[in-house]
């Protein structure tokens, strides 16, 4: 069985993480092995970098380099091996978040992000510790990309209300709503350019959001049937 790379994306407060448990249960019920992971993070090194990225102030290039360094370790050690085994990889955020947060949110150069994406996700040799990174001029169709991306779309003002008082905010969560408007626009732009995106209306109640997820997976032939309910 071939692997399936599924990512969840959206602005902070959109509610994506609350559906990962149910997704894991759903795919296991279909007889699939599931690898659950997240970015930044997913390996000991990448989790260490996550702490720096989420807590330390830094310029946007430094932040982008750290995010992609964490991703490289994660891709080599977790994502590629899991896909090679035929697992369903459920990943809470991936490179779309970099284009949305560092690119659209912080206004960092998207061309530099695209070049880093090609270095880190470029096809040849990925999966072996000794592999050289692919050339940044490698064809974009050889990039490791998610097979399907669930994009939790929610108005930034509503997301901010949901986040308020929930916990101590990290560096990104404490950004003003204007920052999240740019991030949301960045996601919308990414989603318009790739068929792998499924827009989930995250303003709905949690059960209805789950129903949208199940319907999208069913429509794409990724599950045979749903469980009918969330966890």
Residues that bind ligand TYD (CB under 6 A): 12, 17, 39-40, 54, 67, 92-93, 97-98, 101-102, 172-173
Q: How far is CA 36 from CA 8, 53, 93, 139, in A?
A: 11, 21, 11, 29
Least distance CB 67 / ligand TYD (angstroms)? 4
Whichever of 101 and 210 has its CB closer to ligand TYD, that residue is 101
CB closer to ligand TYD out of 87 and 92: 92
Closer residue to ligand TYD (CB): 17 or 211: 17
CB of 56 to ligand TYD, least distance (A): 13
Is 3 within 8 Å of 204 (Cβ atoms)?
Answer: no
Q: With H, G, I as helix, E, B as strand and everything else as coil, classify residue 123.
A: coil
The gap between the terminal CA atoms of the chain, to the nearest Å, is 26
Q: Which two tokens stand for residue 229?
A: 């309910």
C-beta of residue 152 within 8 angstroms of C-beta of residue 7: no
Residue 190 to residue 194: CA distance in whole angstroms? 7
- Complex with ligand TYD: residue 70 or 223, whichever CB lies closer: 70
Minimum Å gap between C-beta 10 and ligand TYD is: 9
Minimal distance, residue 212 CB to ligand TYD, in Å: 20
Residue 100 beta carbon to ligand TYD: minimum distance, rounded to whole angstroms: 8
Looking only at the bridges linking them, the beta strands covering 197-201 and 148-153 are parallel
Distance CA 9, CA 141 (A): 21
Measured from the CB atom, the residue of 101 and 151 that comes closer to ligand TYD is: 101
């Amino acid at each position: 069985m071939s692997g399936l790379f599924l990512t969840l994306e959206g602005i902070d407060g959109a509610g994506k993480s609350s559906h990962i448990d149910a997704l894991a249960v759903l795919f296991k019920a279909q007889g699939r092995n599931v690898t659950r992971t997240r970015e930044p993070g997913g390996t000991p090194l990448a989790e260490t970098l996550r702490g720096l990225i989420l807590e330390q102030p830094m310029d946007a290039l430094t932040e982008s380099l750290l995010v992609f360094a964490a991703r490289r370790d994660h891709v080599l050690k977790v994502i590629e091996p899991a896909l090679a085994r035929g697992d369903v990889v459920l990943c809470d955020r991936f490179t779309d978040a970099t284009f949305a947060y560092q690119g659209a949110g912080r206004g960092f150069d998207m061309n530099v992000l695209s070049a880093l994406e090609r270095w880190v996700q470029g096809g040849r040799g990925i999966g072996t510790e000794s592999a050289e990174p692919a050339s940044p001029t490698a064809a974009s169709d050889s990039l490791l990309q998610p097979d399907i991306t669930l994009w939790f779309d929610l108005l930034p003002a509503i997301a901010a209300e949901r986040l308020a008082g929930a916990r101590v905010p990290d560096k990104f969560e404490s950004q003003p709503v204007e920052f999240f408007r740019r991030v949301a626009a960045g996601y919308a732009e990414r989603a318009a350019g790739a068929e792998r995106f499924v827009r989930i209306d995250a303003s709905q109640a949690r059960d209805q959001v789950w129903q949208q997820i199940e319907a999208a997976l069913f429509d794409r032939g990724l599950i045979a049937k749903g469980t009918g309910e969330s966890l």
